[in-house]
Amino acid sequence: MLNFLLRSVSMGLITALLVLIAVPSLRPTIISEQFDATPTQDASLQVSFNQAVRKAAPAVVNIYSRQYKESDRTTLSTQGLGSGVIVSEKGYIITNYHVVANADQIIVALQDGRVAAAQLVGKDQRTDIAILRVEGSDLPVIPLNPNYSPKVGDVVLAIGNPYNLGQTTTFGIISATGRSSISAGGIQAFIQTDAAINQGNSGGALVNTQGELVGINTASFQQATDLETYGISFAIPYKLASKIMEKIIADGRVIRGYIGIDGQDINSVTARLLGNEHIGGIIVLGLDPQGPAAKGGIEVQDIILTINGKKLNGRQGVLDLVTDLRPGTTVDVTLLRDGKEMTLPVTVAEDSRE
Instruction: Let me know how long the chain is.
Output: 354
- Out of 65, 98, 124, 278, the active site residue is 98
Per DSSP, the three-state class of 183 is coil
Question: 300 by DSSP, 3-state: which?
Answer: coil
Could you give phi then psi for residue 310, rounded to 5 degrees?
-95, 125
25: left (phi over 0), alpha (psi -120 to 50) or beta: alpha
DSSP code string of 214-236: EEEEEEEHHHHH-----S-EEEE
CA atoms within 13 A on the CB side of 168: 18
Element (H, E) at 66: strand 60-68
Alpha carbons 189 and 240: distance in angstroms, whole number: 9
Give catalytic status of residue 278 as yes or no. no
**Given the residues 83, 175, 183, 202, the one annotated as active site:** 202
Closest-CA residue to 335 (of 258, 269, 266, 272): 266
The catalytic residue among 65, 83, 124, 128 is 128
Helix/strand number for the chain, H first, E second = 9, 21
Classify the C-alpha dihedral 38-42-45-51 as positive or negative: negative
Q: Which is nearest to 210 in space by CA: 30, 41, 56?
A: 56
Of 173, 324, 306, which is closest to residue 239 (Cα–Cα)? Answer: 324
Angle (nearest 5°) at CA 88 between 85 and 94: 30
Residue 41 to residue 140: CA distance in whole angstroms:
37
Answer positive or negative: Cα dihedral of 185, 96, 81, 52. Answer: positive
Catalytically active residues, by annotation: 98, 128, 202
